[in-house]
Structure 1
């Protein structure tokens, strides 16, 4: 008998909306205190400065606005777990758009304040089931907001890495959603049950073809913390460096998942 098909993970729409708004507010609060010198600092994202990164964070949120401005597609044709695999193809266009946004909004405090207020208004106006045409395909608004939580969580970490001493907090629910979506994406990329990937306290998935584990301690286990997982999944840190730095514990002959990473860029 073939194994039962795994049920797709669901996300609480109210918690996701609250998480996106909370994480955006954390970023906005931090940006208010950045000096011109700090905004000019380099980031780990190629040629982007901190100013470019902040502009991109706002741009990632207003992707909701742009999608709602377009007619709703006739039907959903992708699931949210497929979104991470669609990001790389759009990287050049995103980079150009980011530079334009940074140039057009010299007052980043005012820009993020407008992004926040306009997003709240849109979320009040539109039901979660409203379909959006996204870079990955047609998704409901509630599902697309999960991807915005990923963007915000990942780029908050980028911001903290770029500015010494900056400690923008991660909203717990935003970090949880980002961790779970990227863990599920790994299971989609490498389906199977021979390796268990644990990212406590938010996610556990099984992946990689091979003998399926049924009970007791799995023979192949990978375990890491949520921020390290986000960095691995998005290419901020390599598998080799994470293992060498004791940020990842991997045991078993099928526990080396470095060849499957990153999942998105």
Structure 2
């Protein structure tokens, strides 16, 4: 199995363990660390990073070449969108819908989906392409998994902070693709000098180099 597929599954299993933490159920109805997101909806959004992969694998792929990973973000309407923009309102609604049956049901569904994906990702060919109808455009499966891996890492931190537990530590082979993607996005957004200075020269670092 390709390294990114193994990394994605590692992060997905880590997310399931976080969702199953008693602190998540205890704070299910409370606000989260993200504006306008409750803990329940954020948990649903985290779980959706697993469900989306199953959905993409089942969707037909129209003719045409997949786009590059950074082009996916360049075209996306969600980067830089305000909390009240339609895209973010829709994301919150989906998360809340996935969480409506409660924490135990969400953990069970996510666990089962990860188990199915463990087999499915082993069987998919290296050149597999998936289609994002909301784009609309296609990505290689491995590039799509990279986007979901980043979402799993970032939103695991969001959820952990929201419920007062330690952020799960991912192994190097899982977190390094996330950091690489975020660095590339930060450079695209702020330029090479800003990112270089933030990482190597505190005395002239910019105020921010956020990637997303």
The TM-score by the shorter chain falls in which range? 0.7 to 0.9
What's the RMSD between the two structures over aligned residues?
Answer: 2.5
> How far off its partner does 1:145 sit?
0.7
Mark the CA change 1:87 to 1:128 in structure 2 (over 3 Å): closer, same or farther: farther
SS at match of 1:68: helix
1:228-257 CA-to-partner distances (Å, cap 9, x unmatched) read: xxxxxxxxxxxxxxxxxxxxx5344xx426
Q: Please tell me whether residue 151 in structure 1 is matched to residue 148 in structure 2.
A: no
Q: Among residues 33, 41, 56, which one is paired with 1:44 in the alignment? A: 33
For the pair 1:222 / 2:198, whether they are aligned, the reply is yes
Partner deviation per Cα, 1:175-214 (whole Å, 9 max, x = no partner): 21111112112333355x5x1635xxxxxxxxxxxxxxxx
Paired residue for 2:68? Answer: 79
TM-score (norm: length of structure 2):
0.81
Unaligned runs of 5+ in 1: 1-12, 199-220, 225-248
Structure richer in strand, relative to its length:
1
2:178 corresponds to: 178
Q: Secondary structure at the residue paired with 1:95?
A: helix
- How far is 1:262 from its partner? 4.1
Equivalence for 2:84: none
Structure 1 position 129 matched with structure 2 position 127: yes
Query: Residue 64 of structure 1: CA displacement?
Result: 1.4
Deviates more, 1:81-90 or 1:45-54: 81-90
The answer for the alignment partner of 1:120 in structure 2 is: 118
Alignment partners' CA distance in 1, 2:93 and 2:165: 29
Candidates 95, 98, 102, aligned match of 1:101: 98
Question: What residue in structure 2 maps to residue 256 of structure 1?
Answer: 206
> Would the aligned equivalents of 2:40 and 2:96 in 1 still touch at CA under 8 Å?
no
Deviation per CA, 1:56-98, whole angstroms, max 9, x where unpaired?
1111222111112211132234211233341616323222211
Per the normalisation by structure 1, the TM-score is 0.66
Structure 1 or 2, whichever has the larger Rg, is: 1
Shift of 1:122: 2.2
More helix by share: 2
What is the SS of the residue equivalent to 2:31?
coil
- Structure 2 unaligned segments of length 5 or more: list them: 82-86
Number of equivalences: 200
What SS does structure 2 have at the residue aligned with 1:197? helix
